[in-house]
Structure 1
Amino acid sequence: MVQCRICGGPVEEFFDFGRQPVSDSFVTPQTAGSEFYFRLAAGVCAECTMVQLVEEVPREQMFHEDYPYRSAGSVVMREHFEKYAHQLLGTELAGEDPFVVEIGSNDGTMLKTIGRAGVRHLGVDPSAQVAGFARAEGVRVRTDFFQDGSAREIAAADGPANVIFSANTVSHIAYIDSVFRGVDALLAPDGIFVIEDRYLGAIIAQNAFDQIYDEHFYLFSVTSVRAMAERFGFELADVEPLAVHGGSMRYTIARPGQRAVSAAVTEHVERERETGLTRPETYHRFAQHVRESCRELVRLLTELREEGRSVVAYGATAKSATVINYCGIGPDLVPFICDNTPAKQGRLAPGTHIPVRPSEDFAKPYPDYALLFAWNHAEEIMAKEREFRAAGGKWILYVPEVHIV
């Protein structure tokens, strides 16, 4: 039995996606087949209810110099982070000489707004490439992993942080005990540690199974984050649902007694109990829905191919690796994927080696159908690609079930 990485309790496995490549390992035609593989399986802790992967991928395999994801690639995410940056500037960072640290600062989309306001800041990110983009925006970055040792060095050099912020990163870090020791060393006595991440409740409700991949070592709920905070000597003070990424949650963590615990925390914990998010049978039902969705998606793509319909994919996302490799979707069903990330173009999707081409190729000519891997940005993408619909094109989505738009 696997032990929980948070509390040491028994973890019950509920789904095995089999042998999977590292999700962001978009290879060149010359290096195809060199991907690192691992067993992608998820389980739930019987004690603290934390959903987690049962096998850890070495962090250097995922977050390296050539890590291709950029927050600025989405208008929605740019606006989201700019809005929160202004919120912090008007509240937690409004005092005398405030200091903010972002774990997983990526291309500096959030911190550049804070930096331009003249506030002391530091981004911590292990990818030299995205750190370079951030520095070009005037953001101060330390190219490193955030953990106990690096946090202590930051505290010694810059003093305590009023805010430690992290979006879609803390759930990636299996060694979360070291992260919390680092937060303890760096955070001011009355400071806050703010985590934004995809919400487990939304993932289960929407059957968003592709949110399970190597980078998402943990899938957070309010119940499990509260237990995690307490385990490491902190307190979950507030939660706020967010619309981004198909449903996320913002968790505000503080030292015990420093912040009043909002009613929202208790309300969400109770709601999770009522909806079964703390019970193993919920995850076994989810597993059945995953199997059904994958069978239906392959059936639809196969029928379209046999009918002579053209199908391409849109959005070479990390989460698409789970879909194409578990379902066995290769170039025979989807000849190529369109994506606007230059670092992915001309490369092959990990595992099944579907070619990735520039977004401009989507209209050369338009296909009959487009399989939308970036479904969490559906509104933004469909607005951008109105001419595809006008030309008679249709979108294929698989969340919450396989359907055509």
Structure 2
Amino acid sequence: MHPWLAQRTTAFESSGIRKVFDLAAKLKDPINLSIGQPDFDVPDEIKTAATDAINEGKNAYSPTQGIGPLREKLKATIDSQFAHADRDVFVSSGTSGGLMLAMLSMINPGDEVIYLDPYFVMYPALLEMCGGVSVRVDSSPDFRLNPDKIAAAITPRTKMILVNSPANPTGITASVEELEAVAKLAAEKNIALLSDEIYSRFMFDEDFVSPAKFNDQTIVIDGFSKSHAMTGWRVGYVHGPSEVIAAMLKVQQYSFVCSPQPAQWGALRAMEVNLSGHIDDYRRKRDLICEGLADYYEFAKPGGAFYLYPKAPIDSGSKFVEMAIERGLLIIPGKIFSQHDSHFRISFAASDETLHRGIKVLQDLARELK
């Protein structure tokens, strides 16, 4: 280890997903079912709003909390949903930025944070940067949010419960009953509840429900990256109790400073864009890949996001992914998201042609491994 490096940099590895992305760039005509972003482009009206902002000279720093019109529109929407007496909102540099600010503002060394395994890869890394302790609750085999398992994991050092529905990497959506039980548990125990809702618009079988409906102290993180294909624009938002939001803003002032101003004007326009056609298309893609793999793999049918998380037909999910990559199919090993090396993640945010090619490779592999 280089003598100048901080110890915190050794607590976690570089993202395994990024390694697959790097591999994709080297393959000729890969079947790419690895990337976690929509395959449609940013809607034209959003692009126009952002380029208009650039051409009008709106290129300086914005206020740390975000441009006034966007923040006001977000606040009005959030207030209409929850009507909480004390709920503020600010614009973050993507939802990843929002997550980092939440951890830096709330987690002290030794504080425990409960979340489900499998999990989004950033959760343990961010916690370890802050000196927090990951308490991973095994959600297999159905990957559901089980309130009893969450309750059993609580200790006197528990500071936060982190929920993600629809979930990455499984696509599983928590039921209203599950969310309500966990929200009320957090309130009863005076534990912070952080809800990562970046896939909230990708619901295929039912309406989205936030745990903030049942716990007015819930901190919610959401954004425009996945819903509007704006992953590179870095516009997220966070809402929750005003004192917590103020602390997060203070940290943002000395770190991210603000989300890019032209992108915020694009996000303001994005709030008026109808996404129903895209959601219908992803529901169809979900059904296409589930039907294509149902006779070959074990999996829980996703109710949201754009991921499928099948069990590998051999003992090692990582070894299976290597076999798939040898055939030009890029998928993600489950051990990146889990303490278990038993599954793999497919992103069905891809063209139908790519999905059909990927399904064929996976069907052939399953037949050969029987």
TM-score band by shorter chain is 0.3 to 0.5
Q: TM-score, normalised by structure 1?
A: 0.36
Higher relative contact order (CA 8 A, sep 6+): 2
Structure holding more helix per residue:
2
Q: TM-score, normalised by structure 2?
A: 0.38
Structure holding more strand per residue:
1
